[in-house]
Structure 1
């Protein structure tokens, strides 16, 4: 009986130690809010209009997050598919169109694309200093040429991303993100990237991000939305989700897309949205969160530090 009692005591002690260790790991993974920034926005404080139409990007299997099949989006070619365009420059200071084609392994224009969160093509434009973010949905022509109607572009170097899923051929069902760079002539002034923060504001809404993602590792990320100090609970569905989250890496503008795992249940989303974050490279990432309330699309931006 004495031996049995000592064994039971040891086992209970071991179980308690394991539980304490597990709790410590959980608390460490949750992260905590940090500093707030007075410089949010797509142009790091300058005005820039983002498309008011819905947009999104693919998930990885049944675990939403960055689409690993798409890589970092910094190439115009992947798996035999190529993004081609005759537009090497575009004018500054006015609305303009960027025309491009996706060709397949047979070098012919691809015209059959699957719906991805209600759209067949998602297009992003970002300047090299991560300002001027635009997320729009281009229009296809019968010959496979797409036309992306861009808002005014500031002078400088830009990268244009196309996110799509072929619905036929060798790439059927696979997610791709391809990109090309172009130049907008003029006197380009680089805007410094705002410091990393966990809070930003847009259109009267306060966005708070909790979580400390590590490079190359899947990690939970929580985004909370409030207004006038009160939790927001009227987020409307936006492309079959409550928010769209895109990230670009400082220095090379590598692309990553994340979206919430929160179930959509009508026009009363929020205040908390859960994301699976998997950012492949350490350093600063500029995050652009898009969400809809009252029929209006809002876009908030903040810098997130990834260890």
Structure 2
């Protein structure tokens, strides 16, 4: 039986023929059998160029920040078109001072519309380069978008100030951001070369003992529990602070990267404790200085400890 032109042409193909050539032959022959069986090869060859061009956008996780980086790590004064600007590059030492700053948006104008997060539109932090002198404030905003944070007296040295916020309008609406700047406090700095206290899972504050448990690893989300006791007895009279029973902030030793650990314990009146759950994500391994703030009998307490993250 004589061969058809298409059959002869198929037999003429060598093992080194390209997928594109094979696809062209099958299309020309219009075979309902072999052409159907090999359709996937032709489709794959045609799609490969497109897939290569789109790979950076189609790979899972490529457009998202690493774990622990919600809002960024706080080491830049700009992100996503938003910028932290400050009126003063230096702050006087040894006396209370107002630190004035603004957030400008992608259009270069001062942002005045902010979402409420844990009862506040703006969370502001100041800490010295040796991770001492921690302050967590809630500044006030003027109509023109200028914020004013009332800092307690700062010791001389290099400080970093962080602004944590979420725009409630514009391109960044709903996006949590953390921006920061370095600030100089004039005078002879002392103690800045002192190492952090050794890593420990316990800390003392105002007669309270704070204990942290959890197997923490960098770039991985983990549950973390904070237990609070006083005189050896579990505390059950924690009062809400910023819509939670404890606020937890951390700074990385060396580069001062920022992390805010999110509380998961449900608030139910003035009887929180003794154990509080947190969603913990750290972007870097090494030592982190943790600052836990909690309230009892109307008084705010701050416990600090050095936590080792693997």
- 1:185-200 mapped onto 2 (5 Å cutoff): 185-189=186-190, 190=192, 191-200=194-203
State the 1:259 CA deviation.
2.5
Asked whether the 8 Å contact 2:68–2:283 carries over to 1, the reply is: no
State the 1:169 CA deviation.
0.3
Find the aligned partners of 2:91 and 2:281 in 1 and give their Cα distance: 33
**Equivalent in the alignment of 1:253:** 256
Alignment of 1:267 with 2:270, yes or no, is yes
- 1:70-219 mapped onto 2 (5 Å cutoff): 70-189=71-190, 190=192, 191-219=194-222
**Equivalent in the alignment of 1:298:** 301
Query: CA RMSD of the aligned region, Å?
Result: 1.0
For residues 3-55 of structure 1, give each alpha carbon's deviation from its aligned partner in whole angstroms, at most 9, with x where no partner exists. xxxxxxxxxxxxxxxxxxxxxxxxxxxxxxxxxxxxxxxxxxxxxxxxxxxxx
TM-score (norm 2): 0.77
For residues 243-285 of structure 1, give each alpha carbon's deviation from its aligned partner in whole angstroms, at most 9, with x where no partner exists. 0000000001100001221111111100000111110100000
For residues 73-101 of structure 1, give each alpha carbon's deviation from its aligned partner in whole angstroms, at most 9, with x where no partner exists. 10000000000012111110000011001
Whichever of the two has the greater Rg, that structure is 2
Find the aligned partners of 1:192 and 1:67 in 2 and give their Cα distance: 24
- Number of aligned residue pairs: 242
Three-state SS of the structure 2 residue aligned to 1:68 is coil
The answer for unaligned runs of 5 or more in structure 2 is 1-66
Find the aligned partners of 2:68 and 2:195 in 1 and give their Cα distance: 28
With over 3 angstroms needed to count, the CA separation of the structure-2 counterparts of 1:201 and 1:120, relative to structure 1, is same
Alignment of 1:227 with 2:227, yes or no, is no
State the 1:67 CA deviation.
6.3
TM-score (norm 1): 0.77
Structure 1 runs (4+) greater than 2 angstroms displaced: 66-69
- 1:29-108 mapped onto 2 (5 Å cutoff): 68-108=69-109
> Relative contact order: is structure 1 or structure 2 higher (C-alpha 8 Å, sep ≥ 6)?
1
For residues 115-159 of structure 1, give each alpha carbon's deviation from its aligned partner in whole angstroms, at most 9, with x where no partner exists. 111111000001000000000011100111001100000010000
- 1:272-283 mapped onto 2 (5 Å cutoff): 272-283=275-286
